[in-house]
């Protein structure tokens, strides 16, 4: 087995190597028609939940454009990329002179993926365009995802989008487009992808050799994944199913038993190099609180709805403060769990 690339989930295929896409036939048809029209927009915002195939679609479309640089003669459909073609091999190896993948870089000191796409990464785009100017080729930049751009990086991307180079194409991915700068959104053509249906999710997992094999566990994974391959991988390969069960057990318990359940859960989540499952749990926590807020509001308990909604919105800020001041992660998690229990 090849070494897992930084930032790629265990069991997943990096999008630049993935020749299969499930469940987004309409989006593929739209992109192929739009490209053939010769009036394609210089920036496309591909939006939708994490792990549903946005990056895979972006690389497929980039492969299509670079393989067929004349829109008028391009095929009517996006075909599965040929792994042996020169374009596919260059994209897979990161050696394409016409494609730049902007994502969170690896910190050379720690070996871990940084928490944001920095302005230094965006400067690579400026260098990329200057190096390829005059070639007449399409030049494609995939921003994966734009949600990870810090403020300076977002402003730097905006300047390029305002005056895009000729024959340039930006594929801007976003899990939460509402959080992007409005000026970035306004310069992009939106293309919204829906979560995968149950059948497509099962097919996608089967292609990875990870299809749930039936029974209660399979049902739990498919129900909890929310149409996301990434979520399914976290449930199956990172202990996400057990984390949700432990959280539910904590909610059902009371007194000393609830306290012990909190500590057991906090121990697991605060373990070293457990960032994936920690992030998974925070997302689950937000979803739980928003569902609690919705239920309370429908029941007429507006105070409880407000408390749950406020706590959900505070999670990111509290975790951010904990990380900024290097506070003990376990104590931060315990504090959150105690507030939820109350």
My answer on whether 92 and 154 are in the same domain is yes
pLDDT of residue 116: 92
Question: Per residue of the chain (342 residues), what is the pLDDT tens digit?
Answer: 344 566 789 999 999 999 999 999 999 999 999 999 988 789 999 999 999 999 999 999 999 999 999 999 999 999 999 999 999 999 999 999 999 999 999 888 888 888 899 999 999 999 999 887 777 899 999 999 999 999 999 999 999 999 999 999 999 999 999 989 999 999 999 999 999 999 999 999 999 988 665 555 678 889 999 999 999 999 999 999 999 999 999 999 999 999 999 999 999 998 877 889 999 999 999 999 999 999 999 999 999 999 999 999 999 899 889 888 888 889 999 999 999 887
My answer on whether 146 and 248 are in the same domain is no
pLDDT of residue 214: 57
**Contact present, 66 and 98 (Cβ < 8 Å):** yes
pLDDT of residue 246: 94
Phi-psi map region of 112: left, alpha, beta (phi>0 left; psi -120 to 50 alpha) = beta
Three-state SS annotation for 12-43:
CCCCCCCCCCCCCHHHHHHHHHHHHCCCCCCE
**8: which residues sit within 8 A by CB, 6+ positions away?**
14
Other CB atoms closer than 10 Å to residue 72's CB: what's the count? Answer: 8
Residue 60 in tokens: 């497929």
pLDDT of residue 1: 36
Sign of CA dihedral 52, 120, 149, 7: positive
My answer on whether 175 and 276 are in the same domain is no
73 domain residue, yes or no: yes
**Domain end call among 192, 226, 250:** 192
My answer on whether 262 and 122 are in the same domain is no
Q: What is the CA radius of gyration of the chain?
A: 22
Domain count, the chain: 2
My answer on whether 59 and 146 are in the same domain is yes
Other CB atoms closer than 10 Å to residue 270's CB: what's the count? Answer: 16
Whole-number Å distance between alpha carbons of 277 and 275: 6
Spatial strand order in the sheet of 99-102: 99-102, 139-143, 168-174, 43-47, 189-192
Q: What is the CATH number of the domain that holds 169?
A: 3.40.50.300
My answer on whether 250 and 187 are in the same domain is no
256 domain residue, yes or no: yes
Range of the domain at 184: 25-192
Side-chain-facing half-sphere of 109: CA atoms under 13 Å: 1
Whole-number Å distance between alpha carbons of 44 and 188: 5
222 domain residue, yes or no: no
My answer on whether 31 and 154 are in the same domain is yes
214 domain residue, yes or no: no
My answer on whether 38 and 183 are in the same domain is yes
**In degrees, to the nearest 5, what angle opens at C-alpha 196 toward C-alphas 193 and 199?**
150
183 domain residue, yes or no: yes
pLDDT of residue 258: 93
My answer on whether 84 and 187 are in the same domain is yes
Whole-number Å distance between alpha carbons of 206 and 195: 17
**In degrees, to the nearest 5, what angle opens at C-alpha 73 toward C-alphas 70 and 75?**
110
My answer on whether 114 and 50 are in the same domain is yes
**Domain end call among 166, 192, 218:** 192
pLDDT of residue 34: 93
232 domain residue, yes or no: no
**Domain end call among 134, 163, 192:** 192
17 domain residue, yes or no: no
Whole-number Å distance between alpha carbons of 93 and 79: 20
């Amino acid at each position: 087995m090849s070494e897992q690339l930084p930032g790629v989930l265990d069991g997943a295929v990096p999008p630049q190597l993935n020749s299969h896409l499930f469940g987004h036939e309409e989006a593929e048809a739209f992109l192929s028609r739009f490209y053939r029209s010769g009036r394609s927009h210089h920036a496309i915002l591909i939006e939708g939940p994490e792990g549903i195939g946005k990056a895979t679609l972006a690389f497929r479309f980039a492969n299509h454009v670079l393989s067929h640089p004349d829109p008028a003669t391009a095929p009517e459909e996006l075909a599965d990329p040929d792994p042996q073609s020169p374009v596919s091999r260059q994209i897979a190896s990161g050696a394409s002179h016409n494609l730049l993948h902007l994502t969170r870089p690896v910190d050379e000191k720690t070996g871990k993926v940084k928490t944001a796409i920095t302005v230094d990464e965006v400067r690579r785009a400026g260098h990329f365009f200057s190096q390829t100017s005059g070639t007449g080729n399409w030049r494609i930049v995939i921003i994966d995802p734009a949600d990870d751009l810090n403020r300076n990086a977002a402003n730097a991307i905006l300047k390029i989008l305002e005056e895009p180079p000729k024959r340039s194409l930006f594929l801007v991915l976003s899990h939460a487009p509402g959080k992007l700068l409005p000026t970035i959104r306004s310069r992009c053509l939106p293309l919204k992808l829906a979560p995968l249906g149950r059948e497509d999710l099962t097919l996608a997992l089967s292609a990875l050799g990870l299809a749930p094999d039936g029974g209660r566990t399979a049902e739990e994974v498919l129900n909890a994944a929310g149409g996301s391959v990434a979520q399914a991988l976290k449930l199956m390969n990172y202990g996400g199913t057990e984390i949700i069960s432990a959280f539910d057990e904590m909610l059902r318990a009371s007194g000393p038993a609830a306290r012990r359940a909190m500590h057991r859960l906090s121990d697991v989540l605060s373990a070293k190099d457990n960032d994936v499952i920690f992030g998974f749990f925070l997302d689950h926590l937000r979803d739980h609180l928003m569902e609690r807020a919705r239920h309370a509001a429908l029941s007429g308990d507006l105070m409880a709805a407000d408390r749950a909604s406020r706590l959900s919105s505070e999670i990111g800020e509290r975790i951010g403060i904990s990380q900024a001041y290097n506070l003990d992660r376990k104590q931060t998690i315990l504090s959150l769990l105690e507030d939820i229990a109350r």
